[in-house]
């Protein structure tokens, strides 16, 4: 039986609406393995590294049990875990820092479920299942909203009556763990201190921008939910509230939710493709327009965030599109040449960490997304401070 000295690993869990992503890190924050239990409730399967097997998971609890058994079979039983750390999408106004999970914290995560109904309940299912299987295992939570808690009230408050504000109708922002990781890793990549005014692009199936001033978020494009802001894979991005009300009148509430969250964005514009890689290979008028729409609105929002920071010293790209779609990066950077941006085409084509030419007034970097490592780092920091 493992003793305290053998408890050396941190299990990171990211429970989504139909999946559980997981990774195991050692005490030096080196990833040991990772995988996903996907399509929970449907044609579910479990993938660890290159190994994949179909397995029926009726719910998230069943999927997590299967994940834990698979990890045990590979030499990472619960007895070797020092802690479990969870990505929780919504922390509301109260949970603005990584925390150890207590009954009070669990209750607050539950209270935030109406703000993230597709995520927080599944995060709680993972937390509760682990608590049942390993009641002595410390559990920690990092929140996707917390990085933006430094936004000033003028940025977070909608211009609606104050009675609505008390019901949680405000801007929260998301992708916070990605931005926190970017802030942590950029100085090591650049070899320089963190820029004072950093414009960060998290571009993927979900996409947002963040204005980071002196290491803190002061503005971001997502708002009350991850639906707002940029054109995304299947989400509409910003849309007039009266247009939403018209859709509800014509189609009903549930159908409107499906349209805006799952049938819009690149998918709706292109007539069926939400994956940027497929769009870039398609070369039809609809696909080209969808890509241009994505870039145009990314640039529109970039101008807004540059104004919020009163300037810009550096740009950083992260996320699947930000790290890999060189034509999208090139289009966005061309649109920012008025700022003094000068891209090195060879560096961009090679996906090098540094993208700026020597003549550029603005530094440009690629920072690989490492959200799971950030969650493990948060938990390790809390344990070492205890």
Q: What is the pLDDT of residue 386?
A: 81
What band does 1 get if pLDDT is binned at 50, 70 and 90? very low
Q: Cβ neighbours of residue 38 under 8 Å, at least 6 residues apart?
A: 18, 19, 44, 45, 46, 47
Q: Which of 144, 250, 313, 358 is catalytic?
A: 144
Q: Which helix (H) or strand (E) holds 163?
A: helix 162-165
- What percent of the chain shows pLDDT beyond 70? 98
What are the structural domains of the chain?
4-143 (3.30.420.40), 191-371 (3.30.420.40)
Q: What is the mean pLDDT of residues 144-165?
A: 92
d(CA 38, CA 238): 29
Q: What is the pLDDT of residue 117?
A: 85
Q: Which helix (H) or strand (E) holds 217?
A: strand 216-220
Q: Say if residue 2's pLDDT is above 70.
A: no
Q: Say if residue 18's pLDDT is above 90.
A: no
Single pTM value for the model: 0.94
Task: Please check whether residue 365 is in contact with residue 317, taking contact to mean a CB–CB distance below 8 angstroms.
Answer: yes
Q: What is the pLDDT of residue 163?
A: 78
Task: Please check whether residue 197 is in contact with residue 205, taking contact to mean a CB–CB distance below 8 angstroms.
Answer: no
Q: Kindly report, residue by residue over 292-325, the tens digit of the pLDDT.
A: 999 999 999 999 999 999 999 999 999 999 999 9
Q: What is the mean pLDDT of residues 339-362?
A: 98
Q: Kindly report, residue by residue over 241-272, the tens digit of the pLDDT.
A: 999 999 999 999 999 999 999 999 999 999 99
Give one DSSP letter per residue of 36-59, joined into a string.
EEESTTSS-EEEETTEEEE---SS
Clarify whether 104 is annotated catalytic: no
- What percent of the chain shows pLDDT beyond 90? 90
d(CA 209, CA 94): 23
Chain centroid, CA 172 distance in Å: 13
Q: Which helix (H) or strand (E) holds 385?
A: helix 371-385
What the block records as the tokens of 200 is 């960060």
d(CA 306, CA 336): 11
CA-to-CA separations, 349 to 133, 354, 358, 362, in angstroms, rounded: 48, 11, 17, 19
Give the alpha-carbon dihedral of 126, 175, 143, 195, to 10 degrees: 140
d(CA 125, CA 128): 5
Q: What is the mean pLDDT of residues 361-385?
A: 97
Q: Kindly report, residue by residue over 35-59, the tens digit of the pLDDT.
A: 999 999 998 999 998 899 998 899 9
What are all long-range contacts of 280-284, with beta carbons under 8 Å and residues at least 24 apart?
280/325, 280/327, 280/328
Taking all residues of the chain, what is their mean pLDDT, rounded to a whole number? 95
Q: What is the pLDDT of residue 167?
A: 80
Count CB atoms within 10 A of the CB of residue 227: 21
Q: Say if residue 205's pLDDT is above 90.
A: yes
Q: What is the mean pLDDT of residues 214-238?
A: 96
What the block records as the tokens of 18 is 């139909």
Q: Say if residue 25's pLDDT is above 50.
A: yes
Q: What is the mean pLDDT of residues 354-375?
A: 97
The β-bridge partners of 12 are 23, 85
């Amino acid at each position: 039986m493992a003793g305290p000295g053998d408890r050396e690993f941190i299990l990171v869990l990211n429970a989504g609406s139909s999946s559980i992503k997981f990774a195991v890190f050692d005490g030096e924050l080196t990833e040991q393995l990772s995988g996903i239990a996907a399509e929970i409730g449907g044609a579910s399967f479990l993938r660890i590294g290159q190994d994949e097997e179909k397995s029926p998971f009726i719910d998230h609890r069943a999927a997590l049990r299967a994940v834990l058994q698979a990890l045990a079979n590979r030499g990472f039983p619960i007895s070797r875990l020092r802690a479990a750390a969870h990505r929780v999408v919504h922390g509301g106004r109260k949970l603005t820092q990584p925390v150890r999970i207590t009954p009070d914290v669990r209750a607050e995560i539950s209270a935030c479920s109406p703000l993230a109904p597709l995520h927080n309940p599944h995060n709680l299912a993972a937390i509760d299942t682990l608590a049942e299987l390993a009641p002595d295992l410390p559990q920690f939570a990092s929140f996707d909203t917390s990085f933006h808690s430094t936004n000033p009230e003028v940025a977070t408050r909608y211009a609606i009556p104050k009675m609505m504000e008390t019901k949680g109708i405000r801007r929260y922002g998301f992708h916070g763990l990605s931005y926190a990781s970017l802030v942590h890793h950029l100085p090591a990549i650049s070899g320089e201190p963190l820029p004072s005014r950093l414009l960060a692009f998290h571009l993927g199936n979900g996409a947002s921008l963040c204005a980071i001033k002196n290491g803190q978020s002061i503005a971001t494009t997502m708002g009350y939910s991850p639906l707002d802001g940029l054109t995304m894979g299947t989400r509409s991005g910003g849309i007039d509230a009266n247009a939403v009300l018209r859709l509800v009148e014509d189609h009903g509430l549930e159908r409107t939710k499906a349209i805006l969250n799952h049938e819009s964005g690149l998918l709706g514009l292109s007539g069926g493709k939400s994956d940027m890689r497929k769009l870039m290979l398609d070369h039809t008028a609809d696909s080209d327009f969808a890509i241009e729409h994505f870039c145009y609105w990314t640039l529109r929002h970039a101008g807004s965030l540059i104004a919020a920071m009163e300037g810009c010293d550096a740009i950083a790209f992260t996320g699947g599109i930000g790290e890999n779609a060189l034509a999208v990066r090139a289009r966005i950077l061309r649109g920012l040449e008025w700022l003094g941006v000068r891209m090195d085409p060879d560096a961009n084509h090679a996906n090098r960490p540094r993208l700026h030419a020597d003549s550029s007034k603005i530094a440009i970097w690629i920072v690989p997304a490492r959200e799971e490592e950030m969650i493990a780092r948060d938990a390790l920091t809390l344990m070492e401070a205890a």
